[in-house]
Chains A and B, each alone.
Chain A
Amino acid sequence: MRINESTVIAAPAELVWEHILEPDNYLHFMSGVTRWDVDGEVRSGLGARYRMLLRVGSAEIGGLIEVVEEIPERDLAWTSVTGIDQRGRWRLRPRREGVTDVEFRFSYGVAGAGLGGWLAEHVAAPTVSSRIRESLTGLKQLVEQERRRRDSEPHSVTRA
Chain B
Amino acid sequence: MSDPDTVGARASTNGHSNGDANGSGSGPVASSATDSARSFPLPLVDEGHKLAGAGLSTAAGLAGKLAGRFQRRLRADFDDRDPDYIREQLPMQWLLASLYFRGEVRGLSNVPENGPVLLVGNHSGGNVTPDTIIFSLAFQTYFGVERRFHQLAHNLVMAMPQTQLLQLRRHGTVAASHRHAEQALREGAALLVYPGGDWEVHRPSWESDRIDFAGRKGFIKLALNADVPIVPVVAIGGQETALFLSRGAWLAKAIGLDRFRLKVLPISLAVPWGLNIGDFAAHIPLPAKITIEALPAIDLREQFGPEPDLDEVYEYVTSAMQDSLHALAAERRYPVIG
Contacts and interface: CB of A to CB of B under 8 A. Distances in A.
Interface of A: 53, 56-64, 82-84, 110, 112-114, 116-117, 119-121, 123-124
B183 interface: no
**Main SS of chain A's interface residues?**
mixed
Q: Return the 7 tightest CB-CB contacts between A and B, nearest first.
A: A57-B98, A120-B91, A58-B103, A116-B92, A58-B97, A117-B91, A58-B98
Interface residues of B, number: 25
Given A53-B142, A58-B97, A121 B91 contact: yes
Contacts of A84: 87, 90, 141
A91 to B, nearest CB: 28
A60 B95 CA distance: 13
B142 A113 contact: no
B88 A110 contact: yes
B94 A83 contact: no
Contacts of A112: 84, 87-88
Nearest to A114: B88
B105 A58 contact: yes
B91 to A, nearest CB: 3
Contacts of B92: 113, 116, 120
Contacts of B89: 113, 116
A114 to B, nearest CB: 7
Contact of B137 (A58, A62, A82): A58
B270 to A, nearest CB: 23
B144 A64 contact: yes
Nearest to B137: A59
Contacts of B309: none
B99 interface: yes
B144 A116 contact: no
Nearest to B103: A58
Contact of A120 (B95, B102, B142, B144): B95
Q: B88, B101, B104 — which one has the most chain A CB atoms within 10 A of its CB? A: B88
A113 B142 CA distance: 18
Q: B91, B103, B142 — which one has the most chain A CB atoms within 10 A of its CB? A: B91
B144 A60 contact: no
B138 interface: yes
Interface string B286-307: 0000000000000000000000
Contacts of B102: 58
B97 A60 contact: no
Interface in B50-108: 84, 87-92, 94-95, 97-99, 101-105, 108
Contacts of A57: 94, 97-99, 103
A123 B99 contact: yes
Interface in B236-257: none
